[in-house]
Structure formats: C-alpha cells, structure tokens
C-alpha cells in the first residue's frame, strides 16, 4: 500500500537523470494518503510518496469520479493516481472485503455481492447498479476480473460511461488468443506455429497435438495470468490438460474455449509495454523480463532485460506497436513474446489491460501508466514521442505471495496477518499492496500480499536493494515466499542473466529447500541464535523494583553461558559471554563477535557478526528452547538449551510422529470440485482422488500408494474444502 512508483528522477541520492517532481506537489500528494490510511505513520507515508516522479497538469481536466472495478493492491494503486489528479473514487467490494484497504482509501464504497467472484467482482449487473448509484463517469477495471471482458465494456458504453481501457474491438481482437494470432500474422508479427482454431474436445486436442508435435501448450483463448494453461508432453497429458484448462478458463473468465500451439522449450518470456491514444499514436515503453515463473505465473520481473540488445529491443518494440496500430489500440497494453537463445522472438499474446508488473516500467521511464490511461480515455493525445522514452536505471519486482514455496514452488496459504511491516524505510523501495495488519488472506482470491519493487542506477544496485528489502519485510500470520524470492535474486545463474521459463525447475529439480548455509553462514546463525537466547535470559532476570515493595532475588552471575544448540539434527557446543552490546561467541571452536542494540521487542534486528551486517527476525521462541529465526530469507528452527538442561533433556520421552502414510490430506484449504473415488474403490498409486480449487487454480490430488478406500470426508476439521481420504494400504 506504500508508495507509488520509484522514478529515475525522484530517487533519494545524487547523480540521477531526469526531472524531479516539484516539492509542493510531493508534499500535497502525501496528505491524502494520511487521511485515508490511518494505519501508517507520517514518516512511512512521506517516504513512500517522495518516490513519485510523474507530475500532473492541474489544468488538464479529465473525470470528476471514477469507479474501480477491482480489489486489493491494484485498486489501491489506481486510487492513488486518481487522488493525485483530483478525481473522486468509488470502490466496489464483496461482503468479506468490507474492511479492506481499498475500501477505506476510496471516497465511496459499494458492496456488490458475497465472497465468490462470480457473485461480486464478476457480477456485471451489480457493478452497473453501483455505477448508476454513485454517478461515476468512468470505470478503471485494473487487471483480471472484468478488465478484458468486451461485454462489460459494451454495457458501460450503452450507459455513456467511459471504460478506461481500449475499445471493444481491440478487446475482442486481442483478448481472443485465436483471433489475435491471426491479426498478428497479418501485421507481420512473428508467431508460434500452432492450430489457429478452437479445440472442440479432448479427442481433437490429442489429434492436433500429434500434428503439431509434442510438447504443446494448451491455453485458454480468453484471459491470461497463467490461468487455464497446461503443457502436454504426450496424449494422456493432453487429455488432462484439456479438462483442467477448460474448467479453469470457464471459472476464471466465463469462456472455456481453448487453443493449442507448439511449446517452445527453454524460452525467455519478454514483454513490451505499449501505449496508444485515440488519435492513431502509439509508443513502446521498452521491455520487461518475466522469465522467472511457476505454473506459468510470473514471480520475479525486471526492466530492462539483461538479454536484449538495442537492435532486438527496437525490432520487438516496432512489431508490438504495429500490432497495436492494427487494432487501433488506445490505452496501456502489453505484447508478450517468447524469445529463444538466438534472440528469435515469437508473439505469445496481447493483454489489453494494465499488467501486474507495470511498476518496473514506471521506474525506468518515469511515467505513471494509470495516469496515461486516464488521459487517453478522456481523449487526450499522448504527451511523448518515441524518442522521449528513456531507459533510466534498473528496476526489479518480486511478487510476494501467501504461499508455501517448499510445496511445488508455492501452494497457497491462508490466514490473518498478525504483524505486517513494509520495508519502505530503505532507499529505492516501492511496495504496492492492499493489505494492513489484521487483513485476511482468504481462499476466495489471489494469494498475493504485495508487489515489492526496487530501483537502482544499474542492475547490481537494484538487486542489492531487493535483497535488503526482502530481509527487512515483516510478514507474520501466513506462510510466504520470501525465502524463494531471495534465493532467486542471489542465484549465480540469475545474476549472470542465464534464465528461462524453466529456471525454477532447473535450479531446484528436487523442489525448493531453502537457503543452503555455508559453514561461515551456519556459524553466524548459531552465534546470533545463541546471543538472542542469552539476551532473552538476561532480560528475564532483570527485575524492576517497585517503590513500596521489595522482593529479594538472588540473581546468578554467569560469566560464560555453556549452550547446546541443535540445527538440522546436528548438535553444536556453544560458549557465549557478553560485554555491553557485544557477545563473544565460540561455536565449535570458532570465535565470533556479535553486536546489536538487542531491542528484543522489535520484529527486526540488525546484527553485526565480525563486521558483517545481517538483518534477522526472531519469529518465535518457546520456553522449551525452540526458536525460529529468519536468516538470509529462510526460516531456521534451532533448539537451544543450557548444558545442564541438554543433559537432562535426554531423559525426556519423545512424542511419536503421526503415521499419515494411509491418509491423503489437501495441502491447502479450497473447494472440492470433483471426487473421483468412493468408499470401497481400489486405487493405484498416482491415481487421481479429487480436484481441489483454491485461489483460482485447480489442483489434482493423487494417491500416494496403492490401497482400498475406506472413507472420503469432504471437510477436515475447521479447514473449509479440505479433503481427508483414508485407505487401507497394500
């Protein structure tokens, strides 16, 4: 929720190129944020707003009131620009989103239905009624939901309400992947070989896949965002892919049509941002590198791409503009390409909306894309020429999700944010979010927590700032993917630019396991954990005497704390002593000095270990010696006891682990879409038991071993939609 965009001209520090936003505008821009978001401090908001770089001409009249037909971070993002432009805003929300940040930020808010998206954010009748009720002159759809729905745009036009996006012809032409591919060919844009029609059924899908040659990509004709997409390497996967893709497409976009094309193995995913107006002008605003993906959804993006040279960049940009002009495109849009190792590029699709990753483009160009969309919708011409579009510096975006990265690189997690603190106190950091402490991450919507963006004069600086920002990001109450994000940006292949869309599976063939500690890093962690343990013990011993009551306490004076520290099933002998803020720690014979302010009430702790600065988070601490510490992005569980306690602990009985070999549990809360077995069935290992839909994705759950089904229970304890299947194993 913090910050708009980090512009090349507005960053803290000297030596940046470009125009600096006038100071009076920067100060006034912060005031509205303070009014509408009381949960954040003045310093927090002033820092975030000072990163704004795109000015606004107050004499240029646009709209009096805009309704945002979306939720979460993108709704907040649009509202911020509207406030800057002096435009009143209307938020829509489902009943479970009534207390959401975007609702609080808007001038007005209207409930459009219950939690399921089909009954709220996709409910066109309810949204149209909200428009009439509030007399909004225009609608910004954000991304997802109705942003690429031509029928919604037609409904708005029929009521003389402006759709802040392209016209219905462009939405129809580019939103339909089949038609867009034909138009791309006509506009002389490089395209991927494939079937240009609609696939009718699974049998036809198999026939077409064989003709094209495996592997193939099965994907929804409408929509995007990785929904309704499957890669198939054989006939069986094609049949399964057709079934799941059509179901996801119908659920997400209300359109189950599919197409099939050749899957280009090991490509890069690079997209071109375009901007057009209603007067025939169109620009390309450079590229975004989006190759780091899981399940066809982007995880890390950056601008520009380390891979492209100026000649390839220009060729891609010119083809993207040619396609935009071919459909008379008038708004912000994105043309996506697959690029092979020889820099051959092929048209993938065009998204006729604002992209999730648009902030990185704003960083390197200094443009506010939402502002440009509003101007164009009002009928103004573009203010810039192609020669005016710069590449100033480097920007990186990490999508912070409520996901468990140790399960398929990110299975959704749900919960309530018990503590939440964005790292915008750091230079060159922007955070786009729509949450606050106490917000719920539910099963109904996308699990994104925020978009974390860092900007630097070059790629090295931007990545270092991202590393620091991830270490300083406090998220408690839900499982998150910060460990994975941090590992990606420090990976040697990523730093060298050796990436493709299979990066995660190539680098982590056995799944993500967290940061692998070097011996020096392990000793640093053990030294920090031991110092924290002693610091907590010393604080517990401290007794504040009351004025009228004295309780005699004999406090032991311990010169050296002899500790037993267990990490990864290995026990280490540690001796710690302190002198003021510095602890001298000996770990398995190696001596380290650990210095900090030891503010144990703070969620973040800055520590110096022999001069090396680390930011750590103590997530939990138990009286029995268990401690969870977030170190280098990964959460490590350590067990610390004094030497005496460790010796006595050997006599404690260990709790036996539960035998779950005959039980299949859903790894996440969700809705049971189908159950493929019944009690008494004999199932084989790998056979599908059920399909769980969670956060817009369908997941097939399969048997872990051969057995006979005993019971099928659709609800497991208090977790809605979870499935419990018990079987008698063989």
Whole-number pLDDT of residue 550:
56
Instruction: Report whether 62 contacts 41 (CB < 8 A).
Output: no
Pairing of β 724-729 and β 663-665: antiparallel
Q: Would you say residue 47 has pLDDT above 70? A: no
Mean pLDDT along residues 59-71: 96
3-state secondary structure of 186: helix
Q: Would you say residue 308 has pLDDT above 70? A: yes
Cα dihedral 228/233/238/242 (nearest 10)? 0
The catalytic position among 349, 362, 487, 693 is 349
Q: Lowest mean pLDDT: which of 5-14, 198-207, 292-301, 596-605? A: 5-14
Mean pLDDT along residues 145-160: 96
In whole angstroms, give the CA distance from residue 488 to residue 482: 10
The phi, psi pair for 527, rounded to 5°, reads -70, -40
3-state secondary structure of 356: coil
**Strands (E) located in 318-456:** 332-339, 345-351, 394-401, 403-404, 411-412, 415-416, 419-421, 429-433, 440-441, 448-456
In whole angstroms, give the CA distance from residue 440 to residue 134: 28
Whole-number pLDDT of residue 703:
85
In whole angstroms, give the CA distance from residue 244 to residue 476: 33
Mean pLDDT along residues 31-59: 43
Run of H or E residues at 40: none
Q: Would you say residue 19 has pLDDT above 50? A: no
Strand-pair partners of 716: 719
HSE of 409 in the Cβ direction (CA atoms, 13 Å)?
A: 23
CA nearest neighbour of 213 among 265, 269, 177, 267: 265
Q: Lowest mean pLDDT: which of 94-108, 215-229, 434-448, 597-611? A: 215-229
Q: What is the DSSP letter of 656?
A: P
Whole-number pLDDT of residue 224:
60
Instruction: Report whether 476 contacts 433 (CB < 8 A).
Output: no
In whole angstroms, give the CA distance from residue 74 to residue 409: 24
Domains with residue ranges and CATH for the chain: 65-164 (3.40.50.20), 194-262 (3.30.1490.20), 268-507 (3.30.470.20), 519-539+558-650 (3.30.700.30), 671-709 (2.40.50.100)
- Give me 725's structure tokens: 């299947």
> How many other C-beta atoms lie within 10 A of the C-beta of residue 385?
9
To the query of whether residue 349 is one of the catalytic residues in this protein, the response is yes
pLDDT band at 551; cut points 50, 70, 90:
low
Say which residues have a Cβ less than 8 Å from residue 498's Cβ, sequence separation at least 6: none
Q: Lowest mean pLDDT: which of 18-22, 337-341, 618-622, 689-693? A: 18-22
**pLDDT top residue among 700 and 299:** 299
Q: Would you say residue 376 has pLDDT above 60? A: yes
**pLDDT top residue among 42 and 196:** 196
In whole angstroms, give the CA distance from residue 93 to residue 112: 6
pLDDT band at 692; cut points 50, 70, 90:
confident
**Strands (E) located in 427-579:** 429-433, 440-441, 448-456, 474-476, 561-567, 570-579
The sign of the CA dihedral 72, 73, 74, 79 is positive
3-state secondary structure of 388: helix
Mean pLDDT along residues 598-614: 97
DSSP for 578-625, written as a single string: EETTEEEEEETTEEEEEE----TTSS-EEEEETTEEEEEEEEEE-TTS
Mean pLDDT across the chain = 86
Residue length, the chain? 730
Strands in 697-702's sheet, in edge-to-edge order, are: 671-675, 688-694, 697-702
Whole-number pLDDT of residue 668:
74
Mean pLDDT along residues 92-111: 97
Whole-number pLDDT of residue 555:
55
Instruction: Report whether 434 contacts 72 (CB < 8 A).
Output: yes
In whole angstroms, give the CA distance from residue 127 to residue 144: 15
- Greatest mean pLDDT among 47-61, 103-117, 338-352 lies in 103-117
pLDDT band at 556; cut points 50, 70, 90:
low
Which ranges in 475-576 belong to alpha helices (H)? 482-490, 492-496, 503-507, 519-541
Q: Is the peptide bond before 650 cis (omega within 30 degrees of 0)?
A: no
- Percent of the chain as helix, strand, coil, to the nearest 5: 30, 30, 40
3-state secondary structure of 665: strand
In whole angstroms, give the CA distance from residue 31 to residue 444: 33
pLDDT band at 223; cut points 50, 70, 90:
low
**pLDDT top residue among 334 and 547:** 334
- Give me 703's structure tokens: 């048997």
Whole-number pLDDT of residue 367:
97
Pairing of β 162-163 and β 138-140: parallel
Whole-number pLDDT of residue 636:
98
In whole angstroms, give the CA distance from residue 535 to residue 91: 48
- Greatest mean pLDDT among 37-46, 260-269, 577-586 lies in 577-586
Mean pLDDT along residues 197-219: 89
Q: Would you say residue 94 has pLDDT above 80? A: yes
Q: Would you say residue 426 has pLDDT above 80? A: yes
Mean pLDDT along residues 610-638: 96
HSE of 601 in the Cβ direction (CA atoms, 13 Å)?
A: 1
Mean pLDDT along residues 78-94: 97
Read off the pLDDT of residues 237-288 as tens digits, 9 standing for 90 and up. Answer: 999 999 988 888 777 767 778 889 888 878 999 999 999 999 999 999 999 9
> How many other C-beta atoms lie within 10 A of the C-beta of residue 729?
12
Q: What angle do CA 665, 671, 677 make, to 5 degrees?
A: 60
- Give me 640's structure tokens: 């610390």
CA nearest neighbour of 132 among 100, 99, 110: 110
Instruction: Report whether 527 contacts 420 (CB < 8 A).
Output: no
Q: Lowest mean pLDDT: which of 266-280, 333-347, 696-710? A: 696-710
The phi, psi pair for 437, rounded to 5°, reads -55, 130
Q: Determine what percent of the chain is predicted with pLDDT higher than 70.
A: 86
Read off the pLDDT of residues 715-730 as tens digits, 9 standing for 90 and up. Answer: 433 333 444 444 444 4
CA nearest neighbour of 529 among 620, 424, 448: 620
Q: What is the DSSP letter of 243?
A: H
Q: Would you say residue 408 has pLDDT above 60? A: yes
pLDDT band at 552; cut points 50, 70, 90:
low
Whole-number pLDDT of residue 709:
67
Q: Would you say residue 45 has pLDDT above 50? A: no
In whole angstroms, give the CA distance from residue 623 to residue 532: 13
**Strands (E) located in 3-80:** 65-68
The sign of the CA dihedral 460, 463, 468, 471 is negative
The phi, psi pair for 564, rounded to 5°, reads -120, 115
Instruction: Report whether 393 contacts 13 (CB < 8 A).
Output: no
Instruction: Report whether 148 contacts 352 (CB < 8 A).
Output: yes
In whole angstroms, give the CA distance from residue 521 to residue 473: 20
In whole angstroms, give the CA distance from residue 232 to residue 241: 7
- Give me 100's structure tokens: 């959401």
């Amino acid at each position: 929720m913090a910050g708009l965009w980090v512009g090349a001209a507005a960053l803290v520090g000297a030596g940046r190129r470009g125009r600096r936003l006038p100071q009076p505008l920067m100060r006034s821009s912060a005031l509205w944020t303070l009014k509408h978001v009381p949960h954040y401090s003045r310093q927090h908001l002033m820092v975030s707003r000072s990163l704004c770089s795109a000015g606004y001409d107050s004499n240029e009249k646009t709209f009096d009131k805009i309704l945002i037909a979306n939720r979460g971070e993108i709704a907040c993002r649009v509202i911020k620009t509207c406030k800057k432009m002096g435009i009143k805003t209307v938020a829509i929300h489902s009943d479970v989103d009534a207390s959401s940040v975007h609702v609080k930020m808007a001038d007005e808010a209207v409930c459009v239905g219950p939690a399921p998206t089909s009954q709220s954010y996709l409910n066109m009748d309810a949204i149209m009624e909200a428009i009439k009720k509030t007399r909004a002159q225009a609608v910004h759809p954000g991304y997802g939901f109705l942003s690429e729905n031509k029928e919604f745009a037609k409904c708005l036009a029929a009521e003389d309400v402006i759709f802040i996006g392209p016209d219905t012809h462009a939405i129809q032409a580019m939103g339909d992947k089949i038609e867009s591919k034909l138009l791309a060919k006509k506009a002389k844009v490089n395209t991927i070989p494939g079937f240009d029609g609609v696939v009718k059924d699974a049998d036809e899908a198999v026939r077409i896949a064989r003709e094209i040659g495996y592997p193939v990509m099965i994907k929804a004709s409408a929509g995007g965002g990785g929904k309704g997409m499957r890669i198939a390497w054989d006939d069986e996967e094609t049949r399964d892919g057709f079934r799941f893709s059509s179901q996801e497409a119908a659920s997400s976009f209300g359109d189950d049509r599919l197409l099939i094309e050749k899957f280009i193995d090991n490509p890069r995913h690079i997209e071109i941002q375009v901007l057009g107006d209603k007067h025939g002008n169109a620009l390309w605003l450079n590229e975004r590198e989006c190759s780091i993906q899981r399940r066809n959804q982007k995880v890390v993006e950056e601008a520009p791409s380390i891979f492209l040279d100026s000649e390839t960049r220009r060729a891609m940009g010119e083809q993207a503009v040619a396609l935009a002009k071919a459909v008379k495109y008038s708004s912000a849009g994105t043309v996506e390409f697959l690029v092979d190792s020889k820099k051959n590029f092929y048209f993938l699709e065009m998204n006729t909306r604002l992209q999730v990753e648009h902030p990185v483009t704003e960083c390197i160009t200094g443009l506010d894309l939402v502002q440009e969309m509003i101007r164009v919708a009002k009928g103004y011409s573009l203010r810039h020429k192609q020669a005016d579009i710069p590449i100033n510096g480097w920007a990186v975006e990490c999508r912070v999700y409520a996901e468990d990265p140790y399960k398929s690189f990110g299975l959704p997690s749900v919960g309530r944010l018990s503590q939440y603190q964005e790292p915008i106190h750091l230079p060159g950091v922007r955070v786009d979010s729509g949450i606050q402490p106490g917000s719920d991450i539910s099963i109904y919507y996308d699990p994104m927590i925020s978009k974390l963006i860092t900007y630097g004069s070059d790629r090295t600086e931007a990545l270092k700032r991202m590393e620091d920002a991830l270490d300083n990001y406090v998220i408690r109450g839900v499982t998150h993917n910060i460990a994975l994000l941090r590992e990606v940006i420090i990976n040697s292949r990523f730093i060298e630019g050796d990436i493709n869309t299979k990066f995660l599976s190539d680098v982590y063939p056995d799944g993500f396991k967290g940061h692998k500690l070097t011996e020096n890093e392990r000793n640093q962690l053990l030294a920090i954990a031991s110092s924290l343990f002693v610091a907590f013990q010393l604080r517990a011993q401290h007794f504040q005497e009351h004025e009228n009551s004295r309780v005699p306490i004999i406090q032991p004076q311990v010169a050296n704390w002899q500790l037993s520290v267990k990490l990864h099933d290995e026990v280490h002998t540690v001796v710690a002593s302190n002198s003021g803020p510095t602890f001298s720690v000996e770990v398995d014979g190696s001596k380290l000095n650990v210095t900090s302010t030891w503010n144990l009430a703070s969620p973040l702790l800055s520590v110096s270990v022999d001069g090396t600065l680390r930011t750590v988070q103590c997530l939990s601490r138990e009286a029995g010696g268990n401690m969870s510490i977030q170190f280098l992005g990964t959460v490590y569980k350590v067990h610390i006891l004094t030497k005496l306690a460790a010796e006595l602990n050997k006599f404690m009985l260990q709790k036996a682990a539960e035998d779950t070999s005959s039980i299949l549990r859903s790894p996440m809360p969700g809705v049971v879409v189908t159950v493929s077995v019944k009690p008494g069935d004999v199932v084989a290992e790998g056979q599908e038991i059920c399909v769980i839909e969670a956060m817009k994705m369908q997941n097939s759950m399969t048997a872990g071993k051969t057995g006979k089904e005993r019971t099928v229970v659709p609800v497991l304890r208090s977790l809605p939609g979870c499935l419990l299947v018990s079987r008698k194993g063989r």
